[in-house]
Amino acid sequence: MRVLKFGGTSLADAERFSRAADIIVSNQGQSDVSAVLSAPAKVTNILVSVVDNTVKHGEAELPLKELESLFTDLFHGLAERQPNLDTQPLFDKLTRSLGQLRQYVHGMSLLGLCPDSTYARVVSKGERLSVAAMHALLEARGYAVFDIDPVNYFAASGSYLSAEVDIEASSQRFKQSPIPEKHIGLMPGFMAGNENGELVTLGRNGSDYSAAVLAACVRAECCEIWTDVDGVYNCDPRLVPDARLLKSLSYQEAMELSYFGAKSCILKPLRQLPGSIFLA
């Protein structure tokens, strides 16, 4: 089993989404594969603004419309690239998700605040829509797909917004209900389930953590973090015009960079960063 993780900028539009699907399919030819997906770029920020607008102003129709437009463009773009893709189930899921979000907005406006449990449900909507889109795309290409629900598989403890996964307990769940052979596993990142079966999140940008946990639970041969940069630079190329691409990097140096907050950025077509589980 190989575990691949794709971040939001790698799923930002139909072209990049399709490229991620190509990578998943290519790896499936070598061994069984499971992919962990983030929400498309901007989506989580939009969902955060849904909460903020509701608490401050009592409504959030503008970000909800923005969310609908973003996924509508994504689904139509995927259908253009994969003509046999049935988008109706995707639009049905989007409609249900928007309906649930509007219910949350109504409840938050009445309370004048957003409970952490509601916040977790709101901000995790994007990852589930990513998985639905990738599931439909891979099935349209003729592949068997298995959805891994982290709320059921990942046993977590802690707060609703910064939980930690019990890897031993979660591994037992995968042994009891394993990913079917010759199926591509798809899992939304960033979330897990607590002892009451409630959705909890693993902290902002927790999808890398999700991928590492999944790899540990299924005893994967490798965990690859995919992103849309050429590699690791000596400084932020968005801020420093003459930033240099590093030819090599030790794990110790990578850990130090990640400890001090190194981030990835959009520079070149989707690339794999070997050993970059600390960096994405």
Q: pLDDT tens, 221-244?
A: 999 988 777 778 888 887 888 988
Q: Could you tell me if residue 208 is left (phi over 0), alpha (psi between -120 and 50 degrees) or otherwise beta?
A: alpha
Quick one: pLDDT at residue 74? 98
Instruction: Give pairs for 228-231: CB < 8 Å, separation 24+.
Output: 228/9, 228/10, 228/16, 228/264, 228/266, 228/267, 228/268, 228/269, 228/270, 228/271, 229/264, 229/265, 229/266, 229/267, 229/268, 229/271, 229/273, 230/267, 230/268, 230/271, 231/271, 231/273
Closest listed residue to residue 278, CA positions, set 251, 238, 249, 245: 251
Amino acid type, 246? L
Q: Is 280 part of any domain?
A: no
Rounded to 5°, the CA angle 77-22-128 comes to 60
Q: Is 192 part of any domain?
A: yes
Q: pLDDT tens, 5-49?
A: 999 999 999 999 999 999 999 998 888 999 999 999 999 999 999
Give the mean pLDDT of 238-262.
82
Q: Is 241 part of any domain?
A: no
**Where residue 263 falls among pLDDT bands split at 50, 70, 90?**
low
Q: pLDDT tens, 45-74?
A: 999 999 999 999 999 999 999 999 999 999
Q: Which domain holds residue 125?
A: 2-227
Q: Is 240 part of any domain?
A: no
Q: What CATH number is attached to the domain comprising 135?
A: 3.40.1160.10
What is the number of structural domains in the chain?
1
Q: Is 139 part of any domain?
A: yes
Q: Is 117 part of any domain?
A: yes
Q: What is the model's pTM?
A: 0.87
φ and ψ at residue 220, rounded to 5 degrees: -65, 150
Q: Is 258 part of any domain?
A: no
Q: Is 77 part of any domain?
A: yes
Cβ pair 270, 23 in contact under 8 A: yes
Task: Say whether 239 sits in a helix, a strand or coil.
Answer: coil
**Where residue 206 falls among pLDDT bands split at 50, 70, 90?**
confident
Query: What is the pLDDT of the chain when averaged over all its residues?
Result: 90
Quick one: pLDDT at residue 246? 86
